[in-house]
Structure formats: structure tokens, C-alpha cells
Amino acid sequence: MAANMRGLTQFIADIRGARVRELEEKRINKEMANIRKKFKAWCSCHAADGNLDGYQKKKYVAKIIFTYILGYKVDVGHMEAVNLISSSKYSEKQIGYLAVTLLMHENSDFLRLVVNSIRKDLDENNEVSNCLALHAIANVGSSEMAEALSEDVHRLLISPTSQTFVKKKAALTLLRLYRKHPTVIPAAEWALRLVSIMDDQDLGVVICVTSLIMALAQDHLDAYAVCYTKAVDRLHRLVIEGEYSATYAYYKVPSPWLQVKLLRLLQYYAPSEDATLRSVLHEVLQTIMNNSAEPSRNVQHNNAQHAVLFEAISLAIHLDASSPLVGTSAILLARFISSKETNVRYLGLDTMAHLAARADSLEPLKKHQGTIILSLRDKDISVRRRALDLLYSMCDTDNSELIVGELLRYLKVADYALREEMVLKIAILTEKYANSYKWYVDTILQLISAAGDHVGDEVWYRVVQIVTNTEDLQEYAAKVVFEHLKSPSTHESLVKVGGYILGEYGHLIANDTGYSPLEQFQVLHSKSQFCVASTRSLLLSTYIKWVNVFPEIKPQLINIFERYRHVLDAELQQRACEFYALASRPDDDEVLQNVCEEMPPFPPRVSALIGRLNRKLGDTEDKRTWIHGGKEMNLERHANSRKATLGPGSSATGTTTVTGNTDVQDVMSSLAGLNLSSPGEQSDPSRVDSSVVAPRVAVGPSVEKWFNKLIYSADGVLYEDVQIQIGVKSRYQGHLGQLAIYLGNKISVPLTSFTSTIHVNDSEALSATFAKIPPNILVPRTQSQQLLHVECKKAFSSFPILTVSFLAGAHQSVSIRLPISVTKFIEGVKLGQADFFERWKVIGGPPREAQAVFPITLDGTGQLDLVRYRQVVSGNHLEILGDVDPNPNNLVAAGVLHTSVDGKVGCLLRLEPNREAKLCRLTVRSTSDDVAAEVLRLIEKLLRLDSS
């Protein structure tokens, strides 16, 4: 850049040649004055062919940029930079964009002037201009710019004519805008179109789009659910089929960055119930683990392999913590936590903490407990932090005393950055896994003594609550806290605990040797001179309690109240005056006794410590799908997060908002007896029930006609338009069925990013899964077959919906109902006249009987269309019985519905058409109310079609 501009080159040389700062400032001031003069002259006469051409403006703006980079404040050149953006020359446009991104902050008024220029560059069929504009949007990223240009950036990303490097920059620009202004991006609306780009031929584009989808999917899980299949398919093609170019092989590892992102994306979703996807994922994870079984001598290869491996292990744990894959993972992790490489030890400990958070049994981890404890003394603080997290997660009633003891010993030498977190975790573990209340009190008091200033109010509040609520513990707690107060140096938090417990329960030990009222008073009061006003206020409350129970030390206590009546602190003075008045009343006065009654038990509540820890460890990166603290805490967190997803505390992006004063609220509510749950724990409708909506199905006379015909026939056309044809061929046996879905491409170009998904309203009644992951390209003028396996578990009433989406210039999507009804799983049964009517009577009338009377039309000869009636009834898999009904026009049929959960369900049918009345009575009886109603609905609809 500078080589082409002599003035800029000379300016840089002069600056570098300046020996002292004064000379540098003098040269810069001189140059800035000259630039102002030139720009001012240009502004005054540019209407009459100004005297500054594009080259000169570019040169002067470049000097301003260099001055700004050196750290000097500049207040000139903004308008000229805006003008340079509109230039047709790349070198001038580049300097203009560079100046805009460096000199203008996101709230600058000048940005409004460049929005139209940036939009013009985004619309140009010039990749370089596109990229410069995208850089500027991503770097500045103002709210106004996001609102004005996000649609243009999205258009560049999805345009089939955009170059690959433009698509990559567009995806990352959208990611930047979404992270800064999530409400501006219509994430759910763009979901299907963005996910379709995951099938792009260029892996670079796929990596960038996957990064974008990871951010969007975290807040819009249901809208981006289709990305699950895409991610599994891409992983299969990368890892199993080796479908990638050599450009994206990093030390023989196929695109490790993409693998890591896809494996992480899959962890955002609950494990799939699709057996095909589970099988493919298992194969992918098994291959990844086999490839990493033996380390390579090449460090870079190992790094890439380990990055993929650790994410694969995390996914395996997420899918099923008791699977054989996780057993293999535990063996690998045991090797990694003893590795010489710091990064490997770090990742090993972190992944093992994930396993501890999900595993049903901690026994495999306890074998390596010694190694994990040694990691607390690792030279790297990040490894020490991960070891602390792992110990916290793997603690249970069996090893709690050992782990808490080790953490207490380590606390004395731990880094200051770790101590507050350690205190919270020790306090939580001590309370949660205490084998006895005495051990709990001993441990917490040791913790308060050792940690000092790192002990938050929540810790000693919790001690007070537990001691108050446990009568058997009160005497022991009073003795232990008294012994701790005897030590020469006592932290103020311990004085608070001692003041409260001795004030409430000191009388329980007053008759024991060494614990007399006078000794309690002397020990506690000796600490008051080192305490702040709030602690002294608490001690005054202790003293007034003692006035009531220890009359022998009443003179000393009244003397203290007298002295504190004259202090400057208003709170202390008010308490002292009130307490002095109470203490000075006659001994037989009941007011003092009533005021100083023992504190009642606190209402049961959740510990505030866990909420405090979760806020302290809030996500600063991609949202974790688990938290430290064992399986129970993760199950509870999962339940609470589902409840709070759409609650009143949720923001527009789906994340829960927390008020800035939560620490104070938690502390106050801790003593007020309120429910102390973490901020996200609010009960509202769950994500799954409230947001899973069936796709809108295609409609039309032909579509309805084809669908209705397939209800009582095995094969035929289901949907057809100018681009695609969908046909179905089916067969059923018992409660199982198989559909061959034929997808035909009728046009002369391939249908890319081809996706087929099945939506089932009631997955507990019907399951439908593809035999294999559908191909993502449908070549021209050809037909592809996909096998769909279905299973009837219970009676159901809604049809599954097939959604087909593809790219054919634009993104298109078609949703159609599949002709899978409950009658498809019926098997016809042959019965004689006696058997039929015997069963008919046994089943009885309503509610096991469903009946309808409806009009019918006659055929061209004025007769009943008996052939059609037989076709509909037998097409619904019911066996038509002859010689049962004496009226030859009546139809009688029987069948058995096969289900995997409810077993076999009998079904009997009578169809009685009346030619004179042009009416038909249809009666269905079944051992199941639901089956009778559903069979009646299906057959009545098909027979009504003739009359409509």
C-alpha cells in the first residue's frame, strides 16, 4: 500500500526517524494541519471540480489511519473516508473501508451515510466489493447497520451465484451480528434455508455455516431440529466414507474443526429416537475412538485427533452414559489425565467431569481418585481448576469425607483466584453428603476459619439455618464454635456464627466446665473491637439474649449498652438505646422474655449456595449441555431449564434474564424463608410441548384424491408437481409396516440439499423411521427410493407428515400426509355367522360402539355401488364375511388390530346401505373405544366422498 504512495512512505519514514516523542508529535501535528488545510480547501471548492483527486484523498486518509494506529486522537477525515467507499477503484475503496472500521464507533453519526454505499457493494456482482462490505459490517456491527443490512447479508449467503469465499464471510458476518444483536436476526424464519447450506460441496462454507447454526440453534432448538440429520450425515461422509478434499485434511485428520463443531451441535439436542441415526452415530463415534486408540509421533496429528476425540466422548456420554462406548471412553480418559501434555490433561479432566455429571455409577472414576487429587497441585492453574470441578462432580456419600478433607487442606495453599469457588463447592459438598451433623459443623467451621475473606454470607447463613432446624445439633455447635473463638485470630464470619449460635444456644452449655456465661461473654466480646459495625450490631443482639438467660452477667451487658448509646453509627446507637431500655426493666417484666424468645426453625428451602455457584460459573462461550455436580444436579437443571424456557424471565433469544441485584435478593430471601432457586428455575410450559408444531401440509383436489385412494390401496402417486413426483408402495405385517417412498426429479437440473423428514404427532403411539439417511442430491430425470419403517404401538388418529425440502434455484419445501392409518395394521379374520354375532353381542354398545348414518349416491343405473363399498372395507384390511347378514346389500367384516404395546384389539363392522332412502348406516364395535371411533371415521370419510 505505502509503496504506491510516496507521500505516505515519506511520512512513515519521518515518524520512524523521530528520536524523541516531541519530534514525533511535531511531525504528526504538521501533517495533520496540512491535511486539514487540503480537506478544507476541497470542501470549499469541490462543487467546482475540486482540487483533490481520488489518489490524494486515499493518501491523506491513509496517513490519518497510520496516525490513529500509533495511538493519536484524530478528528479529521471521516467524510473523506465515506466518499472513498463510493469509489470504483479497489485501492481507494479499500482505504475508505479501513478508515470507517477503525475511525468510527458503532454509534457514530457518520455510519448512517455509509449504509447505502455498503448495500450497493453487497448488491454488486463483484466478489471483492462484497467482501469489503461484509468486513465493515462485521467489524462495526452497529444495531442500525444490522437492521438495515442483515437481509442483504443473508441474501449473499444463500445466493447460488455467490462465490464460496463470499458465502463464508457472509455466514461469519451474520454470526457476528447475531451475537451482538440477536433480536434483529429472524433466526427461526431463516432456519430451513440456512440448514440446507450444510450440504454445500465446499467444506469451508460448511464450517462457517455450522458455526452460525450452532449459535442460532442454542436459542431456537426446534426451528433448527433438521440440522441434527444433516450433522449426522456429514459426519458419516467425513469419517466413514472419507468424502473430503485433500485441502481439508489436517495432518491426515479430515477437517477436525468441522468434526468438532458437528459433534458439539449434536449435544444441544436430546438423543434421537431414530434407530437409523443412532446406528450411524454409533459407527462414527466408534471409528473416531478406534482411530485415536494409539497416539502418533506427530504432535500436530495428535492435537487434531484429540480435539475430535474429546468432543466425540462428550457426545457419547450425552447420548447414553451407560453404553459400551462410554466404557471405552473411561479407559481412554484415565490415560489422558496422566499425560505429560498440559492440554491433554486439561481436556481429560474436563471430559471426565462430564462423565461424572451423567454417569449412573462413579466407580470407574473412583479408581483414578488419587491421580485426580494430585492434579490439584498441577503447575497449570487451568488444570487445577478442572481437577477441582471433577472432584466436585464425583463426590458422593462414600468418598465425601476424603474429598472434602483434601480440598480443605489444599484450600490453605490454593490460588486466590480459586478460593472463592472452592469455598462454595466445599460448603455444598459438606451439606449434601454429610454423614452426620457433627461432621458438617466441624467441617464448615474449619472452612470459615481457613478461608477467611473468601467466605460469602451465604455460607454462614446456611450454617445458622441448619443448626437452628436441628435440635440435637445445637449444644454441640455451641461448644465447637466457642472453642474456635478461643483462638487468637478469628475471622469475622466466624464471629458472626459464634454470636448467633451462642446467643441462641449458649445457655445449653452454660453449666459445663469452661463454658460459663462469663467465659462466653469474655471470649465473644474480646473479638468485637476488630469487627465492622454490622457484626457489632449482631453481637448486641446476642448480648440482649444473654440478659434474659444469664442474669449473673447482666451488669456487664448493661454497661456495654450504655457505652454504645453514644457511638456515631446510627444503627449501633439505635440498637444500644433500645436494648438498654429493655435490659433496665424489672426482672419480673415479661416484655424482655417475649422479645428474647428462641428463634423458631426456618422453613425448608433450597440452599442459596448452588444458585450462587451457578451464577459465578455462568456460560461465557457456547452453552454447556451439562453442569458440574453429579447426575442428580444435572437432571434437576435439565427439568428446570425446560420449565423456564418460555417463562416470563426469558428474553427474546430464549435465554433467561437475571436482574443485577440477585446476590442481595438471595441473601435476604435466605433468611426470609423464600424458595431459593437459581434464576432460571421458574415453572412454565416446557419447550417440547409448547413449540413442536406440525408442518402445514400441501392441499389441492389432486393431492386429496391421491391421498384418499392410498388409504385403501397399497401403492400409487401421493404428490406431483412440475419439479417432483412422490409415490408410495406399502406392505404391512402385524404391528410393523414398510413404505417404499419413490422420489422422482422431473426437471433437468439436480435437486440439491435434498432433505426428507418425518413428523409424528404421537411418538408413543406410532414410530416412523427411515432405513438409512436419505441422499442429499436427487439427480435429474431419475427416481430415488427411501424405505420407511413404521411400528404401531397404540391406537392413533393423526397421519404422519413427510416433509421434503430441496434447492432448485430457491429453497422449496413440500409437506404431505402419509397414508398410514390405524387400519393398515389390522389383519382380517374369518368368522362364521354364529361366531360373529356372539362377539358382536359380547362387545356391546357404546362406548365400544361407534355408529354414523350418512347420505350416499347411487351409481349410473340407480343401484348401490356395492363394488366400491367392498373395495373400501377390504382396502382397510378388514375381512368381508359372506353369508352372515341375510340382506345381500349389507356388508359384515372383522379384523384384529396389532399393536406392540396394547396387544391385539378386535374390531367388527356392519355396513347397511338403503337404496330407497339413499342413506347408509355404519356401525363399528371394538374392544377399544378409540379404535372403534377411528375406524368409523376413516371408512365413513371414504364412503362419503361418493355422495359429495
For 308-337, the pLDDT digits (tens) are 999 999 999 999 988 899 988 888 898 899
Q: Cα(108)–Cα(5) distance, rounded to whole angstroms?
A: 29
How far, in Å, CA of 431 to CA of 668, rounded? 20
Burial of 460 (0-12, 13-18, 19+ CB in 10 A): buried
Q: For the chain, give me the number of helices (H) and strands (E)?
A: 39, 16
Which residues, in sequence order, are bridge partners of residue 717? Answer: 727
Q: Please write the tens of the pLDDT for every residue from 874-903.
A: 999 999 998 888 888 899 999 999 999 999
* Concatenated DSSP letters of 855-912: E----TTSS--HHHHHHHHHHTTPEEPSSSSSSTT-EEEEEEEEETTTEEEEEEEEEE
Sign of CA dihedral 628, 629, 633, 635: positive
Task: Determine which of 545-549, 630-634, 738-742 has the lowest per-residue pLDDT on average.
Answer: 630-634
Using N-to-C axis directions, what is the helix angle for 143-158 and 127-140, rounded to 10°? 140
pLDDT of residue 225 exceeding 80, the answer is yes
Task: For residue 261, give the 3-state DSSP assignment.
Answer: helix
Question: Do residues 327 and 286 make contact, with C-beta atoms less than 8 angstroms apart?
Answer: no
Alpha-carbon gap, residue 234 to 229, rounded angstroms: 9
| pLDDT greater than 90 at residue 802 | yes
What pLDDT, on the 0 to 100 scale, is given for residue 666? 42
Q: Comparing C-alpha atoms, which of 513, 441, 519, 433 is closest to residue 476?
A: 441
As a dihedral over the C-alpha atoms of residue 674, residue 678, residue 679, residue 682, rounded to 10 degrees, the angle is -70
Confidence of residue 4 (pLDDT cuts 50, 70, 90): low
Cell 458437528 identifies what position? 262
Per-residue pLDDT at 665: 42
Site of grid cell 485434511: 249
* 51 class by beta-carbon count within 10 Å (0-12 exposed, 13-18 middle, 19+ buried): exposed
Reduced to 3 states, what is the DSSP secondary structure of residue 630? helix
Let me know if 698 is exposed, middle or buried by CB neighbors in 10 A (0-12, 13-18, 19+).
Answer: middle
Q: Does residue 689 register a pLDDT over 50?
A: no
Q: What proportions of the chain, in percent to the nearest 5, are helix, strand and coil?
A: 55, 10, 30
Which region among 110-119, 121-130, 502-511, 635-644 has the lowest average model confidence (pLDDT)? 635-644
Residue in the structure block whose three cell numbers are 454470526: 175
The pLDDT mean for the chain works out to 85
d(Cα 355, Cα 329) in Å, to the nearest integer?
A: 9
pLDDT at 220: 92
Mean pLDDT of 569-586: 87
Give the highest mean pLDDT range of 572-586, 640-654, 808-822. Answer: 808-822
Helix (H) or strand (E) holding 392: helix 381-393
- Residue 909: burial class (beta carbons within 10 Å; 0-12, 13-18, 19+): buried
567 DSSP assignment: -
Q: How many residues does the chain have?
A: 948
Contact 80/58 with Cβ under 8 angstroms?
A: no
The grid coordinates of residue 903 equal 396387544
* Confidence (pLDDT) at 604: 74
Q: Is 619 exposed, middle or buried (0-12, 13-18, 19+ CB in 10 A)?
A: exposed
Q: Give the three-state DSSP class for 74.
A: coil
Spatial CB neighbours of 277, under 8 Å, sequence gap ≥ 6: 228, 229, 232, 773
More confident residue, 528 or 176: 176
pLDDT over 80 (residue 803): yes
